[in-house]
Structure 1
């Protein structure tokens, strides 16, 4: 049976229509309130964006959904988890400061802000999943303990997963730092010594002190490395990369398994919103924002995270891509935009495997909201 995905088309919205009003309309028409009960402590899972990134979901848009949750009688709070890599969201103090600087304070969103895994990402709940790669997952207690959950995702590209949407927001976004390490550990960064300039930036930023400079080349200690990928995204010489051939499939499978674990106790108590705007090549975890690869498309809502990500992928691929961006191939409508951006990825793996383990369905019915 196909899952329903509601589609708010921003390309063809009436000239004088307020996006805020349209978001509230989408919430009503999609029946989001049906997953909420009176008095629910409702986690609004968002991504506050790394400092330097500007394409995270607009907090004013988040406010519209938060207000509708309160109107349904629930008690919402904004939440996210601390990062595995170093940066502006490594601990709850820095994380909250970054969220406030990006506009996610109470004065804008109207709801409190809680970092779900505690001060240093040490507060988790183990959830048994018994999947192929992982038997249990470590989910932030503030999310696992919530009565219901609304997941708001900025749909965009990702250097390993191909794209990041609802599934990735559940998987990485709901996991503690150790849980993130569970997902990343199948990836191993390696140094191309011919490209490496020995600048030392990778050694400086590595959160695990796994990189040293020897004979003016970066050397990575596999036993210490957490495979967070920060050295890859920050290397000015593009001298560090993952071993893509062996890492892409197991990473995406673990991603799907963690998403399944995060949603497992909320299968009937969660709803998902994907904002397909500012579709950048990179995750909002990087401290910058590249040019978007396709025009703004719209906002989707669904009770099925697999269906909403599949529909989001299809809508992005249906657009004509922008040239002069990191999208190098597949510009034509119907071309795979994420493989055109990151040729080594396979963005279908997370969808197909997530469906296989029971997270949702790739078969969807797209319902355009008037």
Structure 2
């Protein structure tokens, strides 16, 4: 039997404002019935990188916090820190960015909690027992929550093809170690030509995997301003635990992620992490995709390109696979915008995501999640 996905377009009137349609979506998908009185309820949302404006509007997010309160639950908005160095790489900057982007308590009506702690190391190891992943490292506060609401901004993505519910959960709820595992087959690398031998990474490394050594003849010279030009940081890959803390610590951006994971492996790992996020919450989770400002790439950039299609609406489901499949289909059925980065798929039915990311097979993330029993690609779209 196909899963049900509820859809609300953006048409509104004085008699039926859009907020009312959001309330009806929540009612149809049974949001309040999934939250018992007193339940700590994580509302997973992307707060947007500083400079990006494509994320879900805070005033709309507030509606979901109000629904949780009506059910007697205790809502909090949450996300995990990023793996890359940006305005959300650690909790203090993350919270500042969220507030600057409008996610203040006075607007959204619930507190903000960064789920993986100050520097991305507060995590829970959730057993998933899959070939590609035995343990999923999830932000501790998301793992501890009793109920979960995913609010995802649906858009393109440079590694996953598109980003929706699956990415919002599988990637977004992972700690720094979990994000690094999904993205890379090996631990971060140190670029000797950038290293100034300040020693900060050595002091911060919890695995004692980094040390300063004398620069050899086969190493590039130290950059100008090096504190100890005769030295350079090197890493022992066998000792590295993959936490990614050194990436954030380095003031020279000399430590980088090795973006070498093949796409199929990345998709399977992200699917496994989605299973880990939902473990124990299968009956207390619900998912929403906002198909608005459908930008070509992730909200993690400090900008956003022009949307590839016009704003479409919001979908809701209790099936994370069906909701993403329906969202892809709704985007692909729409006419592409002429002023966007689309090249060949402006027509209705054209594959917009393969057009903007031709090397990425976006279907793999849906297939991977369906294979491990997270949901169905077959769905019935019910328009409210």
Is the aligned partner of 1:303 residue 2:318? yes
Distance 2:142 2:158 in 1: 26
Distance 1:345 1:227 in 2: 25
- Counterpart of 1:336 in structure 2 is 351
The 1:2–1:340 alpha-carbon spacing in structure 2 relative to 1, beyond 3 Å, is: same
Residue 214 of structure 1: how far off its partner (Å) = 5.8
Residue 367 of structure 1: how far off its partner (Å) = 0.8
Distance 1:328 1:71 in 2: 46
Deviations 1:147-205 (CA, angstroms, capped at 9, x unpaired): 10101000000001000000000011111001000100149999xxxxxxxxx99x9xx
Is the aligned partner of 1:260 residue 2:293? no
Contact 1:186 1:250 in 2 (8 A): no
Give the SS at the match of 1:316: helix
Give the superposed CA RMSD. Answer: 3.1
- Counterpart of 1:70 in structure 2 is 69
TM-score by length of 1: 0.84
- Counterpart of 1:290 in structure 2 is 305
Is the aligned partner of 1:50 residue 2:65? no
Contact 1:189 1:227 in 2 (8 A): yes
Distance 1:95 1:24 in 2: 29
Contact 1:248 1:345 in 2 (8 A): yes
Residue 132 of structure 1: how far off its partner (Å) = 2.1
- Counterpart of 1:3 in structure 2 is 3
Distance 2:174 2:339 in 1: 35
TM-score by length of 2: 0.81
- Counterpart of 2:224 in structure 1 is none
- Counterpart of 1:18 in structure 2 is 17
- 1:1-370 mapped onto 2 (5 Å cutoff): 1-10=1-10, 12-14=11-13, 17-186=16-185, 247-369=262-384
Which of 29-38 and 102-111 deviates more?
A: 29-38
Contact 1:186 1:251 in 2 (8 A): no
Give the SS at the match of 1:120: coil
Residue 59 of structure 1: how far off its partner (Å) = 0.4
Contact 1:185 1:227 in 2 (8 A): no
Give the SS at the match of 2:350: coil
The 1:227–1:288 alpha-carbon spacing in structure 2 relative to 1, beyond 3 Å, is: farther
The 1:139–1:241 alpha-carbon spacing in structure 2 relative to 1, beyond 3 Å, is: closer
Distance 2:54 2:303 in 1: 9
Give the SS at the match of 2:129: coil
- Counterpart of 1:218 in structure 2 is none
Distance 2:244 2:314 in 1: 32
Distance 1:345 1:40 in 2: 39
Residue 122 of structure 1: how far off its partner (Å) = 1.3
| Structure 1: gaps (5+ residues) | 191-199, 216-220, 231-239
Contact 2:156 2:297 in 1 (8 A): yes
Distance 2:282 2:310 in 1: 32
Residue 208 of structure 1: how far off its partner (Å) = 8.4
Distance 1:273 1:41 in 2: 19
Give the SS at the match of 1:90: coil
Deviations 1:106-149 (CA, angstroms, capped at 9, x unpaired): 10001111111111111111011111211111001100000101
Residue 51 of structure 1: how far off its partner (Å) = 0.5
Contact 2:177 2:244 in 1 (8 A): no
The 1:117–1:59 alpha-carbon spacing in structure 2 relative to 1, beyond 3 Å, is: same
Contact 2:186 2:258 in 1 (8 A): no
Distance 2:174 2:312 in 1: 29
The 1:187–1:9 alpha-carbon spacing in structure 2 relative to 1, beyond 3 Å, is: farther
Distance 2:89 2:336 in 1: 34
Residue 65 of structure 1: how far off its partner (Å) = 1.1
